[in-house]
Amino acid sequence: MDPAITVSQSMDGIPFSSGGVLRTETESPIPAASDDDSAFDEWQSTRTRPLSLSALNYPIEHGRRYHAFQPGSYMLPNDEVEMERLDLMHEVLVTVVGSQLFLAPVDGGRIHRALDLGTGTGIWAIELADKFPNIQVTGNDLSPIQPHWVPQNLKFEVDDIESPWSHTMPFDFVFGRYLITAIKDFPGLVKSAYENIVPGGWVEFQDFDLNLYSDDGTLPADASSLAWDKYIIEATEQIGREPSPGPRLEGCIRAAGFRNVTKRQFKIPLGAWPKDPALREVGALYLAQMLEGLEGFSLRLMCDVLGWKAEEVRELMAKVRSEFVSGKQHIYMVYYVVYGQK
């Protein structure tokens, strides 16, 4: 990929400078609740389904907590530190795409069922359910870390989205975001989405290219940050996961059979180095979540997969943090948003 990628100039999201170079400095609505409303009772019962205790028996490794259901399927932690980082990342990503929960031309007031794949803390699903009380929103994840008090039209499920889907009714909208390093078979995942969407329904995936880029020569080839990035990509590939799903999303969505496919690309600066105030603000937030997440990104992949010792990983992390915080490296990552219609 050409690091000087030209970003769409028609974006409604955060502003980008010329040339894309960052300058330095069919189902019934949710029934109303009532004592004799069996349809609502059925929906409500699915929200309060008891969890298997095994899904809550979280293992502790390298001083961090990880998911228990389908152990080893996801390499990042699920503890409080990681949950706070995920909520910060949600703020970053919503801001980047123009303070919107999704970009697909979905009329939230007219659809009835939506699915959030890999919901994490559930923050996206909660905001969707709050904004559109007419939608039955389902969020699924390997970890039952979502809050208990949520909008009435929202339920969470513990599920592996790469296993066969068992939903009994199709969705109007399927959304998947930030599944980087978590998925073995992206084409298969997108195909599952296609098979579980009503005709005319929409899918949207948002994800990263994991590579680090710079347009102005401030990222030297011997940078610790580039070495770290290379190790994370290598380890992710070794366990059969997709390290950079973003560039592949359009092809996967088209191959699954979706039409009216649209791709958007966004550069997200790592740090408050751009001149543009909006980019500087989002860059500062993105740096904050990156610093918070470095250890969680790295420990399992580099220790368990590449054979590093934990102290060696933390020594490299210290160098990477120092480079990121210095602001001397004008780094950005590329974020892809692709949506299509069945």
Burial degree of 177 (CB within 10 A; 0-12, 13-18, 19+): buried
Tell me the C-alpha to C-alpha distance, in Å, between residue 269 and each of 7, 14, 147, 201, 256: 13, 11, 31, 33, 32
- One-letter amino acid for residue 64 of the chain: R
Q: Which has the higher per-residue pLDDT, 169 or 41? A: 169
What pLDDT band is residue 274 in, cutting at 50, 70 and 90? very high
- The angle, 0 to 180 degrees and rounded to 10, between the axes of the packed helices 310-326 and 277-299 is 170
| Domain with 226 in it | 28-331
Report the CATH number that the domain containing residue 86 is assigned in CATH: 3.40.50.150
CA 304 to chain centre: 23
- Classified as helix, coil or strand, 210 is strand
307 CB-near residues (< 8 Å, 6+ apart): none
Q: Is the pLDDT of residue 165 over 50?
A: yes
Q: Is the pLDDT of residue 2 over 50?
A: no
* Residue among 205, 221, 203, 244 at smallest CA distance from 334: 244
On whether residue 98 sits in a domain, the answer given is yes
Q: Is the pLDDT of residue 338 over 80?
A: yes
Q: Is the pLDDT of residue 104 over 90?
A: yes
Q: Is the pLDDT of residue 38 over 60?
A: no
Range with lowest mean pLDDT among 62-71, 156-165, 169-178: 62-71
149 CB-near residues (< 8 Å, 6+ apart): none
Domain tally, the chain: 1
Q: Is the pLDDT of residue 16 over 50?
A: no
On whether residue 7 sits in a domain, the answer given is no
Q: 269 near 282, Cβ under 8 Å?
A: yes
pTM of the model: 0.86
On whether residue 338 sits in a domain, the answer given is no
Return the pLDDT at 64.
Answer: 79
On whether residue 342 sits in a domain, the answer given is no
- To the nearest whole percent, how much of the chain has pLDDT over 70? 81
Q: Is the pLDDT of residue 209 over 60?
A: yes
Tell me how far apart the alpha carbons of residues 76 and 87 are, in angstroms, rounded to a whole number: 15
Residue found under tokens 């070794």:
238
On whether residue 199 sits in a domain, the answer given is yes
Overall average pLDDT of the 159-166 stretch: 92
Q: Read off the pLDDT of residues 281-327 as tens digits, 9 standing for 90 and up.
A: 999 999 999 999 999 999 999 999 999 999 999 999 999 999 999 99
On whether residue 75 sits in a domain, the answer given is yes
Return the pLDDT at 48.
Answer: 39
On whether residue 55 sits in a domain, the answer given is yes
